[in-house]
Amino acid sequence: MKENKFLSHNAYSGLHLFNETQVHLPVNKKTLHLISSAIEKEESCTFHLIEVVFVDEAEIIRINKEHLQRNYVTDIISFRYDDTPDNNAIEGTLYCCAPRIIEQAKEHNENLKREFKRIVIHGMLHLVGYDDQSPESKSEMRKKEDFFLSKV
pLDDT digits (tens, 9 = 90+) for 11-60: 567 999 999 999 999 999 999 999 999 999 999 999 999 999 999 999 99
CB-CB contact of 133 with 126 (8 Å): no
pLDDT at 3 over 70: no
pLDDT digits (tens, 9 = 90+) for 68-83: 999 999 999 999 999 8
Compute, in degrees rounded to 10, the torsion defined by CA atoms 76, 77, 82, 83. Answer: 130
- Specify the fold of 10-151: Collagenase (Catalytic Domain) (3.40.390)
- pLDDT band of residue 151 (cuts 50, 70, 90) is very high
- Rounded to whole angstroms, the Cα distance separating 23 from 55 reads 9
- Rounded to whole angstroms, the Cα distance separating 152 from 148 reads 6
Spell out the long-range contacts of 58-63 with Cβ–Cβ below 8 A and sequence spacing 24 or more.
59/20, 59/95, 59/97, 60/95, 60/97, 60/100, 63/95
